Structure 1
Amino acid sequence: MSPATRSRIPAHLREYVVDQDYDAYDEVDQAVWRFVLLQAYDRLCKTAHPAYVKGLAETGISVERIPSVAEMDRCLAEYGWGAVTVDGFIPPRAFQEFQAIGIMTIAAAIRRRRHLAYTPAPDIIHESAGHAPIVPDAKYRAFLRRFGEIGKRCFSLPEDRVVYEAIRHLSEVKEDRESTPQIIEDAQQRLDEVNGQVTRDSEAALLTRLHWWTVEYGLIGTPDDYKIYGAGLLSSLGESTALHGDHVNKIPLTVDCVQTSYDITRPQPQLFVCSDFDQLDAVLEQFAATLAQRVGGDKALQIMLDSGELGTIEFDSGVQVTGQLVEIIEGEQGPAWVRLEGPVTLSLNNQILPGQDTEQHSDGFSTALGLLDDGTNLGECDEDWLLSRANGQNRVQWHWASGVSFSGRVERVQTDESGSLRVITFTDARVNLGDRVLYDPDWGSFDLAVGAGVVSCCAGAADPDYYAPTDFAGHTIPHAKDPTTAREEGQVLHLYQAALQCVREGKDPRKMVEGFARIEDELQSHPDEWLLRWNLLESLRKADVGEELQAKLCAELLEIEKTDYESLPISTGLQFLEMI
């Protein structure tokens, strides 16, 4: 990655970034890329959003070779974006955080031959050729960043995290050649079980559906006349073709799409069609208006409490309290007291206030909220007003309209730029609500976060400095192939290399045909090797030579397809070559 992109990665996200070892891709991997991209490009020139064709080249992607993530990073810089390599799945919130700052996360592994049409696991075909080509469109890339900004602040529920891990596990075992049918069945059963335990949809779950039906599987136009822009469709040979059938329902996009669930491991029975990219923004805004980060108030506090994850409460004063909300105590007029478990920070304008960091509040934090019983909003008062209400020992006694009573000695005042009160530190502080003691002088100094009401609750920290910094992962992708794949591909790798050499020396078509014929003879010892046969045929068709060898290869491919018609995309490859 470039120094510019590297410098933009928040310290807590560095752990997800790995290096791409381009030399680890062998000739079989490159053949996989070409098989998918040659056909996808041919079809999508006619069926994809107009940005797709130019967008491939503009983002550093060629149909002839697996892209270099570093090259993509350089190309995307023209649009204010960047690209980094990651190792497969990363947590959903981390993905949204990267997207919010305009950095694409590229899972650099490449799918295996048995999953060419579609793979349930992230791979470089999907991550690069799927997501990158539409980024040069200004409206779309702006939408992606807004989506990330909203998405990273959505609350999940504990069951969401369990479902995510089950989906990740199922996707990985389906891609792993060492997985037995029983392992796959067990993983599917586990996913079905945890899905059955979900009793309600969290903000994050609904947002994920919106992402799926737009960014991943979106169509643009009308239900009768549409183009593809979703990355999952752009990178899937199977679904980018099958979607045009009547069995796939095309539905006008509305915010109600978030009520439609999906299965990541299977083709989708319906797709949603936006009229244009402006509508994507409109739908996103409709959805965002329902979230805790926008609605505030009692509802937002309850969503944060139910989530059980790190979040930030923002008061109408602008003070932001980051921690895990564990208790809301109701008073006479709504929430009177909130308690968060540590570590906790107090921030203003997304920056931790001096002396209000995790060290100060390592064990948690509590504060009152609301108006005083005389209607005073402390957030509208300044230090002079505060001191004028204190006695000679800087001691104040207050009663909130909620019923909370307070007394304490003023030790420090923190204000905003206008001088309005934001955090007041007291010693010898006592807080009660009726007979319940909320704070006792023996517990040490008390920091009051000034706020009459809650304007927002959002997942994550207000200031990224809340998180402990991490180091870049330090390992490389792609990983070594599993033993079964390595053994099978190792038996024919020299033939892929020989074929590539013939193409590079292809100034004399007769010699290329002779070389290919020798390779085809050797392939008789590998009757199931279909991808190399297709690559030989594709080169012969392009050069318009070796008609007899072409016919022989075509017949062998059709015979192989009979053994596993569902998994092998041979017919689509032959249709691309106009052989059937």
Structure 2
Amino acid sequence: MYGANTDSELRGDYSRARSDFTVEQSWHAYSEADHALWRHLYARQSQLVPQYACREFADGLARTDCADAVPDLARVSTALQRASGWSLVAVPGFIPDEQFFRHIAARRFPVTVWLRTPEEFDYLVEPDIFHDFFGHVPMLFDRRFADFVQRYGEQGLKALDAGALPMAARLYWYTVEFGLIDAGDGLRAYGAGILSSGGETPYSVESAEPLRVRFDMARCMRTRYRIDAYQKTYFVIRSFDELADAMAQPLAPLIERLRAEPELEPDRLYPGDVPVAPRAARLAA
């Protein structure tokens, strides 16, 4: 995600970062305790994948082959390059927005190198390597989704130049981080923020508490979000082609139109919304 969206002191070691904010991963520096914590995190989340994650995520996760240890980014990059033309670059943590957009526009996904502590097993403020890798990398093996993310990076640079970063950030938040898909196998998650969270994974699909509405690009870009709680609204696509089609057109005209529109709250429905029922309600019906 974006480096400009936190007032907290950044946690990573930026002293060794290059001008593009990449660093060496130094995989051999991870301790056995780090690898054990990774295995614990992986075991918890991977158990949720068959029931809650979309097929594309499950397929991509299997191709990462990273259940036993903190992943070696260079090794996984080789497989990812063959699948979708993407590579992984190590970064110390949050990076500036412009550099983030430039990396993903060039099909390079930034992955934080540090791992959370055992005390942060269930929650941490900044994304660590588990969030960035487990949550994001599996979907990048799917070329349709990978193309969407690259296109988002290209459009994000233009939105940044136009002073429209909040609208671009909301689009990323509600798709790449917290997106749901309602395809042939029912309501499932594909967003990294969902699938790297033990609690939000079932909550996003089954709970009656949050709102779920059909994806609409303008509605999504106007809707505020919270970073310190489960989401109040999730946007639901029918297929990844829907994301590709939405990003096929330039964002600039839409941004200009939305400048005159008010921001929307994430805890209410608005005219034109198409609600989507949680999985439990469908089963009951």
| TM-score, length-scaled by structure 2 | 0.77
* Cross-structure match for 2:211: 249
- CA displacement, residues 313-370 of structure 1 (integer Å, 9 cap, x when unaligned): xxxxxxxxxxxxxxxxxxxxxxxxxxxxxxxxxxxxxxxxxxxxxxxxxxxxxxxxxx
Question: Secondary structure of the equivalent of 1:88?
Answer: coil
Paired amino acid for 1:227: R
Paired amino acid for 2:192: A
- Aligned with residue 213 of structure 1, among 160, 168, 174: 174
> Where do residues 346-361 of structure 1 align in structure 2 (5 Å cutoff)?
none
CA distance in 1, matches of 2:226, 2:250: 22
Shift of 1:111: 1.3
> Where do residues 227-266 of structure 1 align in structure 2 (5 Å cutoff)?
227-243=188-204, 244-255=206-217, 256-266=219-229
**Aligned-pair RMSD on alpha carbons?**
2.3
Rg larger in 1 or in 2? 1
* Cross-structure match for 2:67: 63
- CA displacement, residues 415-471 of structure 1 (integer Å, 9 cap, x when unaligned): xxxxxxxxxxxxxxxxxxxxxxxxxxxxxxxxxxxxxxxxxxxxxxxxxxxxxxxxx
CA distance in 2, matches of 1:228, 1:134: 11
* Cross-structure match for 2:31: 26
Question: Secondary structure of the equivalent of 2:159?
Answer: coil
- CA displacement, residues 488-520 of structure 1 (integer Å, 9 cap, x when unaligned): xxxxxxxxxxxxxxxxxxxxxxxxxxxxxxxxx
The 1:18/1:144 distance shift into structure 2, 3 A limit, reads same
Shift of 1:134: 1.1
Paired amino acid for 1:252: R
> Where do residues 31-42 of structure 1 align in structure 2 (5 Å cutoff)?
31-42=36-47
> Where do residues 334-483 of structure 1 align in structure 2 (5 Å cutoff)?
none
- Aligned with residue 127 of structure 1, among 129, 132, 137: 132
Paired amino acid for 1:208: A
* Cross-structure match for 1:288: 251
CA distance in 2, matches of 1:116, 1:262: 23
CA distance in 1, matches of 2:22, 2:75: 16
Identity among equivalent pairs (%): 31
Shift of 1:49: 1.2
Question: Secondary structure of the equivalent of 1:121?
Answer: coil
- Aligned with residue 242 of structure 2, among 276, 279, 289: 279
* Cross-structure match for 2:88: 83
* Cross-structure match for 1:139: 144
Shift of 1:46: 2.1
CA distance in 2, matches of 1:86, 1:26: 19
Shift of 1:119: 2.1
- CA displacement, residues 136-176 of structure 1 (integer Å, 9 cap, x when unaligned): 2121111111111111111368xxxxxxxxxxxxxxxxxxx
Question: Secondary structure of the equivalent of 2:167?
Answer: helix
> Where do residues 414-563 of structure 1 align in structure 2 (5 Å cutoff)?
none
Q: What is the number of equivalent residue pairs in this alignment?
A: 237
Structure 2 unaligned blocks of 5 or more: 1-17, 258-285
| Contact 1:154/1:291 (<8 A) preserved | no
Question: Secondary structure of the equivalent of 1:155?
Answer: helix
Shift of 1:250: 1.4
Q: Which has the higher strand share?
A: 1
CA distance in 2, matches of 1:263, 1:74: 35
Question: Secondary structure of the equivalent of 1:213?
Answer: helix
* Cross-structure match for 1:105: 110
Paired amino acid for 1:250: R
| Contact 1:108/1:124 (<8 A) preserved | yes
| Contact 2:34/2:115 (<8 A) preserved | yes
- Aligned with residue 54 of structure 1, among 59, 78, 99: 59
The 1:285/1:261 distance shift into structure 2, 3 A limit, reads farther
| Contact 2:101/2:156 (<8 A) preserved | yes
* Cross-structure match for 2:21: 16
* Cross-structure match for 2:120: 115
CA distance in 1, matches of 2:170, 2:74: 30
CA distance in 2, matches of 1:258, 1:118: 26
CA distance in 1, matches of 2:199, 2:52: 14
Shift of 1:289: 4.7
Shift of 1:208: 0.4
Shift of 1:242: 2.2
Structure 1 unaligned blocks of 5 or more: 1-12, 158-201, 300-580
The 1:291/1:14 distance shift into structure 2, 3 A limit, reads farther
Shift of 1:290: 2.1
Q: Structure with the greater relative contact order (CA < 8 A, sep ≥ 6): 1 or 2?
A: 2
